[in-house]
Amino acid sequence: MVNMSENIKYDCVVIGSGPAGLTSAIYHARAGIKTIVIAGNQPGGQLTITPMVENYPGFPDGVGGFKLMMDTQNQVKKLGVEIKSGIVKKITGNFEIELESGEILQGKTVMVTTGAGVKWLGLPKEQELIGHGISSCATCDGMFFRDKTVAVVGGGDTACEDAIFLARFTKKVFMLVRREEFRASLAEQKKVLENEKIEIWWNSEVKELNGEGKLESVKVLNNKTGEETILPLDGMFVAIGYSPATKFLEGLVKLRETGQILVNEKMMTSVEGIFAAGDCVNENHRQAIIAAGEGCRAALEAQNWLKYH
């Protein structure tokens, strides 16, 4: 299936430049595996929009997400790995990677680490307030809102988990649920309903974000009664889902219904020689340390595969 002719320039083409992709590149470089990283449209991945990371080992005072990823990128470059801007359009059966620019690269193996993008509300001011009151990661940013009033937007398992987590140290948590019921598991629903610090607003949609420089309040519409309410907040966590960046793989490798890539115990996809790691694989634990670990594991498995192919 793989053309092993001499014109193949790379042993591995890594698609994605977040924690999983850069970690895999580090391990490849140290093993003498000729590697290139295709950085995508957000070099460094989702972590670059996280103002402060406090749960990554080795940083007792925390570290800015952008700094962490730029330092990791510099580490990769120092090891001699090329990092190339570009977005992958498609991968053919013989591991030719076509970029949107029209350029074609070829590797003996492919490492997909494209991550998953947050589904935002799409409201004015939303993007500029990320890191200034608006977040998509309660685990990452929750501690900045100790004894504050926050809201969680969403009604699924992630939203319920976020609300329960935030209720441990915030003063008050509002859950803004678009429907009149949760989509979460009964176990998660029970935890939320029994928590006195969590107040649920059913049939509620955020229509407006208010604040200059930081979030101060949101306008909430009750989609059943039509009533609008201004809700003062210190922070708001958007938990309406993630979209794995895997559309370019449709028809090539097996995907879950949710879009994540199916891999086996060796981090290999349904196509031999194509490996995957990080948030494009893991739909339950979107953490930088897990993505980095999976990137390492996938790299080691790919190196072992290359020995025999």
Q: Which residue has the tokens 């979460």?
A: 184
**What is the C-alpha to C-alpha distance for residues 192 and 105, in angstroms, rounded to an integer?**
49
Q: Catalytic residue numbers?
A: 137, 140-141
Can you give the length of the chain in residues? 309
Q: 191-212 as b/e, with b when 16 or more CB fall inside 10 Å?
A: bbeebeebebbbbbebeebebe
The candidate with the shortest Cα–Cα distance to 241, out of 201, 281, 284, is 284
The one-letter code for the residue type at 286 is R
How many Cα atoms sit within 13 Å of 267 on the Cβ side? Answer: 29
Spell 222-232 as b/e; 16+ CB within 10 A means b. Answer: eeeeeeeeebe
Pairwise CA distance, residues 183 & 177, whole Å: 10
Q: Determine the residue type at 284.
A: N
CA distances from 236 to 3, 132, 164, 297 (A): 50, 10, 14, 35
